[in-house]
Amino acid sequence: MALEKTVYIGTYIHSESLTKVDVAVDGSIGVGEDGKIAFVLRDTTEVPEGWRNAKVIRTQDHGFFFPGFIDTHIHASQYPNAGVFGNSTLLDWLNTYTFPLESSFNNLDNAARVYNRVVARTLSHGTTTACYFATTHVPATNLLADICQARGQRAFVGRVCMDRMSPDYYRDESVEVAVDASRQCIDHVMKIDPAFDLITPVITPRFAPSCTAEVMAALGKLHQETGVPCQTHISENKAECALVKELFPQSASYTHVYDEAGLLTAKTILAHAVHLGVDERALIKARDAKISHCPASNTALTSGAARVKTMLSEGLTVGLGTDVSGGYTCSILAEAREAIFVSRHVAMTDGDEAKLTVEEALYLATRGGARVVGLEDRIGGFEVGKDWDAQMVTLSSVEDAGVIDQHAGPVEIFGGESWEDKVAKWVYTGDDRNTTAVWVNGRLVHSREGLKL
């Protein structure tokens, strides 16, 4: 679908570094017919030669353009259970809530209903890239890839592999089944998006307790042979860590289990990383594997508090993951908030250096996530040559609106706030009502009802 050359005029904000957010007041960004950024101008809303006939989209009402969010870990199939976890912890939560739900994706109508909803909702929260766990079902996993492509969300789509310690009704029968099904899902994406431009398949061993050494080794081989990325869980909960020790007595650590299977590489995303030892973090760094930090889920399932600042200071690459439905929200904005608050609880015992700032949380939500998924050259910020994966944020003003009607966002701007304060208000009090439009690779993929662009 051909895109219209467009100039985005107004304030744009993105992360300049882990600790600094760059605010360019009244700038302009040109996006070509290929969906890529052709120019970025600070301090001027002038449109350059050759762009005078381009479509113009302006920020509205104290608004700004911000890079699309990157959710580095979300279970699309678990979306119907968001908010449902009771007082459970990981291992009983899986058996009580998760496996029964995931097993229902043998029904494609059910899968279509849930997957359409989760893609629409994550887009509405500004998530332009998502790393999805689907289920063990090949047709439903392929349908998720189709839906992401049709709705225009950049996505990593993984068929879940699990050949033990799972119920009889929801388990791979053999190593061959797991590998063959994974191959079928890779082949499907190669058919619908041969260059993996928007959709990328991802090899997905669920986690070490539900995978035999044989299946992990076979998936490690597939990972090395195809170059297709890999995602899994690691060191989320203490009982899980004890179980891994018992199941893999030969291995020096949980991290070594994946490394010995050939699953720990620069293209591996490890979710949680709550209870990692120093040696494990060093091994992850040596392999350049990536971390998805999932604070909402870690709190909900009382898994623990990941030491994010420690991991960052040691040079690990970290992004944010909602981990629906261990996490209750599919909003990365909410996840950023959770990350900040969990870090403050850590700081109460470990000291102030454990605290994440608003700037750091926004970095994790964008640039950090881009590095986690290996797309830092394409997404995460506004530079010439990058894809226009962006959201338009509106901070509705009570003054301007007179009354807060249903279309007004919840962020209250009284006038006179610094940009730093506006961004903080967005992070702490904003939600999807503030995300008025969303683009992926230049294509409009979501806009709020009634919005005139």
CB of 96 to ligand GUN, least distance (A): 12
- In terms of CB distance, is 207 or 363 closer to ligand GUN? 207
207: partner contacted, choices ligand GUN, Fe ion, none (Cβ within 5-8 A by kind): ligand GUN
323 lies in the binding site for Fe ion (CB under 5 A): yes
**Chosen residue from 51, 156, 207, 382 binding ligand GUN by CB under 6 A:** 207
SS3 of 297-340: HHHHCCCCCCCHHHHHHCCCEEEECCCECCECCCCHHHHHHHHH
CB of 97 to ligand GUN, least distance (A): 9
Spatial separation of the C-alpha atoms in residues 133 and 114, rounded to whole Å: 13
- In terms of CB distance, is 290 or 386 closer to ligand GUN? 290
**Chosen residue from 75, 159, 307, 309 binding ligand GUN by CB under 6 A:** 75
Q: Could you tell me if 430 and 48 are in contact, meaning their C-beta atoms sit under 8 angstroms apart?
A: no
HSE-up (13 A, CA, CB side) for residue 200: 20
Spatial separation of the C-alpha atoms in residues 313 and 302, rounded to whole Å: 25
Task: Using the rule CB under 6 A, give the single segment among 19-27, 90-98, 343-351, 373-381 that binds ligand GUN.
Answer: 90-98
Task: Using the rule CB under 5 A, give the single segment among 89-97, 121-129, 321-329, 349-357 that binds Fe ion.
Answer: 321-329
SS3 443: strand
DSSP state of 6: E
CB of 226 to ligand GUN, least distance (A): 23
Task: Using the rule CB under 5 A, give the single segment among 32-40, 149-157, 323-331, 332-340 that binds Fe ion.
Answer: 323-331
- In terms of CB distance, is 319 or 326 closer to ligand GUN? 326
Task: Using the rule CB under 5 A, give the single segment among 42-50, 138-146, 304-312, 317-325 that binds Fe ion.
Answer: 317-325
**Chosen residue from 28, 59, 98, 251 binding ligand GUN by CB under 6 A:** 98
Where are any strands of DSSP class E within 42-126? 55-58, 64-67, 69-75
Other beta carbons within 10 angstroms of residue 40's beta carbon come to 18
Size of the site for ligand GUN (CB under 6 A): 11
Binding mask 289-328 for ligand GUN (x = CB under 6 A): --------x-------------------------x--x--
Q: Could you tell me if 130 and 438 are in contact, meaning their C-beta atoms sit under 8 angstroms apart?
A: no
Dihedral class, residue 182 (left if φ above 0, else alpha if ψ from -120 to 50, else beta): alpha
Q: Could you tell me if 68 and 127 are in contact, meaning their C-beta atoms sit under 8 angstroms apart?
A: yes
Q: Could you list the residues that contact ligand GUN (CB under 6 A)?
A: 75, 90, 94, 98, 206-207, 233, 236, 297, 323, 326
